Amino acid sequence: MLKTRTIFLIAFALLAITATAQENTQSPYSMLGLGLNSKPAFDMNKAMGGTGIGLRSSNKINMLNPASLTSQDSMSFIFDVGLSGTFSNYATNKGKQNYSTGNLDHIALGFPVTKWWKMAVGATPFTNVGYSINEDDLNANAGKIHYQYRGNGNLTTMFIGSGFNITKNLSLGATAKYYFGNIEKSKSVIFEDSSYDTYINTSSYTLSDFSFEFGAQYTGGDKKLSYTLGATFSSNSDIAGKYTNFSRVERPITSSTPIDTIHYSKNNKFDYQIPLTLGFGGSVNFNQQLLLSADFTLSTKNAIPFNTATNIKSNDSWYLGLGAEYTPDRRAPKGIYKRINYRIGGFIEKTQYNINNTDLYEYGVSVGLGIPSKYSKTNYSISAQFGQFGTKTNNNIAEQFARVSFCINFYDIWFVKRKYD
């Protein structure tokens, strides 16, 4: 019981950290809408090109398809926590800038309910906002004007996933997602001539609502050659949110009214659109050594919230990922070197964004290792993704990134009735 209580205390503590984590990006693109979306991929998925719709594992949690939860051992308990860091170079036609960020990436608990029903609960980031942009302009009457744009915060997804064995080969799953968090954005207009007032506008956004995702997997073959086919579906839905807007001017301290409120509105309602998304994936396993996987997802366009710029549009988006994992001998009785998972992958995504009549793409390659512990199924994973988001074409911004993740996958046998106390 002590071990049980300890693990759950750690889990809830980490959940609290996840819920309050801030600023996991410095991308200027995170000023669009309510930030850049995060994919709910764990470390194995990231190392294999972001694939997972057709992947199954007895000792890992895969939330890219809730039907995969049925592959978990019937007496096991899995505790999965991941950290991530990003090193980015942002380039325009005028210059370059480097940034680095890091944060808790995800946390999840996986456990059986019955032999045919398995569950997972946890939290992952949903969107991230973190930017600081400065611009200068020259006005013939007012002189030099300095513009400051700031944004920080994140929205988090807490999930409860269930997988059900329908037949020996067919599994179905469903995930309920709850979104919450806070994002704050501000714009300041500062005149070099102190006789002009400084203008500051601050907006704060929160989400608090549910959505659902469904999945299916079909498995076949034998130990020499097995395969899994998977599909996922999430319908178009509106997530309820609220925002507060506050505008004010600041005058010199010598003024009788140094701060004056121009506008204040609180708890205004809005809807954040979740697009209709279809996903298809598959994997083939050769002799329990070589695992190949592929995913393709398609999402309908959804409105970018609070977008008033005519040069920023939303499009249908898609994602294609390919991955491979090689394990010399999964059942090697001695040493861990033969049981190490060597992973590699690649991906390309047409994002929802079209800026200055230019579609924005993200593409890259991934590598990783899954390192088993000596005496248990507990696993330590390291992965890295290298790629580019956006382009310098038509005065846009190109981000070259290196994303590094570290994950600890604790595995234990629970739910065994003792013969002796």
| Cα–Cα dist 325/51, whole Å | 11
Contact 330, 288 (CB under 8 A): yes
Angle CA(408)–CA(413)–CA(415) in degrees, nearest 5?
130
In a domain, 401, yes or no: no
Q: What is the pLDDT of residue 103?
A: 84
Is the per-residue pLDDT at 266 higher than 60? yes
Percent of the chain with pLDDT over 70: 91
Mean pLDDT along residues 16-39:
75
In a domain, 360, yes or no: no
Report CA-CA distances (Å) from 419 to 45, 74, 105, 112, 121. Answer: 39, 19, 40, 21, 30
229 pLDDT tier (thresholds 50, 70, 90):
very high
Is the per-residue pLDDT at 418 higher than 70? no
Which residues are registered as beta bridge partners of 7?
none
pLDDT, averaged across the chain: 88
Instruction: State whether residue 204 is helix, strand or coil.
Output: strand
In a domain, 111, yes or no: yes
| Cα–Cα dist 166/405, whole Å | 34
In a domain, 92, yes or no: no
Percent of the chain with pLDDT over 90: 60
Is the per-residue pLDDT at 9 higher than 50? no
| Cα–Cα dist 207/127, whole Å | 11
Contact 34, 314 (CB under 8 A): no
Is the per-residue pLDDT at 353 higher than 80? yes
* Tens of pLDDT, residues 143-175: 899 999 999 998 999 999 999 999 999 999 999
Burial of residue 355 (number of CB atoms within 10 Å: 0-12, 13-18, 19+): buried
* Tens of pLDDT, residues 44-69: 999 999 999 999 998 899 999 999 99
Mean pLDDT along residues 335-351:
93
In a domain, 122, yes or no: yes
What is the domain extent for residue 34?
Answer: 2-86+100-306+313-331
* Those residues with Cβ within 8 angstroms of residue 356's Cβ, 6 or more apart along the chain or in another chain: 311, 394, 395, 396
5 pLDDT tier (thresholds 50, 70, 90):
very low
pTM beyond 0.85: yes
Rg of the chain over CA atoms, in angstroms? 24
Supply the CATH number for residue 189's domain.
2.40.160.60
Mean pLDDT along residues 182-209:
90
Give the amino acid at 402.
A
In a domain, 170, yes or no: yes
* Tens of pLDDT, residues 71-129: 988 788 898 989 999 999 999 888 888 988 888 888 899 999 999 999 999 999 999 99
21 pLDDT tier (thresholds 50, 70, 90):
low
- Beta 317-326 vs 341-355: how paired, if at all? antiparallel
Angle CA(251)–CA(259)–CA(197) in degrees, nearest 5?
30
Mean pLDDT along residues 127-138:
89
In a domain, 268, yes or no: yes
| Cα–Cα dist 106/84, whole Å | 9
Contact 328, 343 (CB under 8 A): no
In a domain, 362, yes or no: no
Between 72 and 8, the higher pLDDT residue: 72
Is the per-residue pLDDT at 227 higher than 90? yes
19 pLDDT tier (thresholds 50, 70, 90):
low
| Cα–Cα dist 336/138, whole Å | 65
Mean pLDDT along residues 129-153:
88
Number of domains in the chain: 1
